[in-house]
């Protein structure tokens, strides 16, 4: 809208100075096509021609001889007879055209900056999703069949999945050689449209054991996790209700063959991640 108003005003101003409708029509055509660069170049050509006409008219005015009475009047006023400047109307037109050029330039710059911000935000969202995938893949591939004791003193399998997906993983680096295990219990949960990774400092937790929280990705609408059992059937929780009802050894229980994670993202829609567990 601003570009169209500026183009219309430029067309009216240029028609006053003899450009007729040819240059103005070009500006209108380029504005309708949103070709700001072509419109700027056409407007610059018009400004150049206008200034050339003004300068040429000033030189013609300097070359004319002044009448004696007018010459005496200039001498009494303290002005040089050959000094010929721009009129007020010419200055106003030049300032108006410069303002229009500034408005068009600002519009183009504003669009470029807005597109840059959108591109950076999209790149950050994509990088967060890729980083989340790599973190989950690394945790699942390093699954260790080690049961743990939760805050209530109950035993939990090496991999559990109901309201929160948890597993015991190995490869927890210890560069300072602290007196701790290289095994770590981690979990994933959806909190306030954010996928959060929990990690505990100990495997067998006490009642006051609090996990460390790491926000992986935002704008998550829903997360659903399924588990592929040894019979190639998808289960909504792990261990299954049949396994929990029977008298089984959690330490000797086989883990699922694969884990499927369905993530519903606000911008990307539904994303399906499939992770294969180590044999």
Mean pLDDT, to the nearest integer, of 147-164? 87
pLDDT confidence bin for 255, thresholds 50/70/90: confident
The distance of Cα 228 from the centroid of its chain, to the nearest Å, equals 36
CA atoms within 13 A on the CB side of 116: 6
Q: Are residues 147 and 255 in the same domain?
A: yes
pLDDT score recorded for residue 159:
93
* pLDDT exceeds 50 at position 63: no
pLDDT score recorded for residue 52:
62
pLDDT confidence bin for 186, thresholds 50/70/90: very high
pLDDT confidence bin for 80, thresholds 50/70/90: very low
Would residue 225 count as lying in a domain? yes
pLDDT score recorded for residue 81:
47
Of 123, 151, 171, which closes a domain?
123
> The domain containing residue 188 runs over which residues?
142-276
| Rounded CA separation 255/243 (Å) | 12
pTM for this prediction: 0.65
Report which of residues 58 and 111 the model is more confident about: 111
pLDDT score recorded for residue 13:
54
Q: Are residues 189 and 262 in the same domain?
A: yes
Q: Are residues 44 and 166 in the same domain?
A: no
Q: Are residues 237 and 203 in the same domain?
A: yes
pLDDT confidence bin for 184, thresholds 50/70/90: very high
| Other Cβ atoms closer than 10 A to 202 | 14
Give 53-74 as a DSSP string.
Answer: HHHHHHHHHHHSPPPHHHHHHH
pLDDT score recorded for residue 97:
80
Token code pair at residue 177: 């050689």
Report which of residues 75 and 233 the model is more confident about: 233
Q: Are residues 40 and 115 in the same domain?
A: yes
Q: Are residues 198 and 267 in the same domain?
A: yes
Asked whether the beta carbons of 220 and 190 are under 8 A apart, the reply is yes
Would residue 130 count as lying in a domain? no
Would residue 25 count as lying in a domain? yes
Q: Are residues 160 and 119 in the same domain?
A: no
pLDDT score recorded for residue 96:
80
Nearest 5°: the CA angle 154, 146, 275 is 110
| Other Cβ atoms closer than 10 A to 96 | 13
Asked whether the beta carbons of 236 and 260 are under 8 A apart, the reply is no
Q: Are residues 110 and 155 in the same domain?
A: no
Q: Helix or strand or coil: residue 21?
A: coil
Strand order in the sheet with 220-228: 234-235, 220-228, 258-265, 269-276
Would residue 255 count as lying in a domain? yes
pLDDT score recorded for residue 154:
85
Asked whether the beta carbons of 5 and 28 are under 8 A apart, the reply is no
Asked whether the beta carbons of 217 and 194 are under 8 A apart, the reply is yes
| Rounded CA separation 19/8 (Å) | 14
């Amino acid at each position: 809208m601003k570009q169209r108003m500026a183009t219309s005003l430029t067309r009216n101003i240029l028609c006053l100075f003899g450009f007729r409708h040819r240059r103005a029509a070009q500006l209108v055509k380029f504005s309708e096509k949103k070709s700001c660069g072509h419109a700027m170049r056409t407007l610059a050509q018009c400004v150049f021609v206008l200034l050339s006409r003004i300068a040429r008219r000033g030189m013609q005015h300097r070359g004319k001889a002044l009448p004696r009475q007018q010459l005496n009047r200039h001498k009494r006023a303290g002005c040089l007879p050959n000094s010929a400047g721009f009129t007020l109307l010419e200055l106003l037109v030049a300032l108006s055209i410069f303002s229009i050029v500034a408005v068009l330039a600002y519009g183009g710059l504003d669009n470029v900056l807005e597109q840059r911000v959108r591109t950076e935000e999209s790149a950050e969202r994509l990088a967060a999703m890729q980083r989340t995938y790599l973190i989950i893949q690394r945790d699942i591939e390093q699954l260790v069949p080690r049961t743990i004791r939760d805050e209530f003193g109950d035993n939990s399998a090496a991999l559990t999945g109901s309201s929160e997906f948890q597993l015991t993983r190995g490869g927890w680096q210890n560069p300072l050689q602290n007196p701790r295990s290289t095994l770590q219990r981690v979990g994933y949960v959806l909190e306030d449209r954010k996928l959060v990774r929990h990690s505990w400092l100990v495997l067998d937790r006490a009642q006051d054991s609090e996990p460390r929280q790491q926000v992986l990705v935002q704008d998550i609408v829903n997360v659903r996790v399924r588990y592929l059992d040894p019979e190639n059937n998808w289960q909504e929780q792990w261990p299954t209700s049949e396994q929990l009802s029977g008298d089984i050894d959690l330490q000797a229980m086989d883990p699922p063959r694969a884990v499927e994670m369905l993530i519903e993202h606000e911008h990307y829609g539904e994303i399906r991640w499939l992770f294969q567990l180590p044999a």
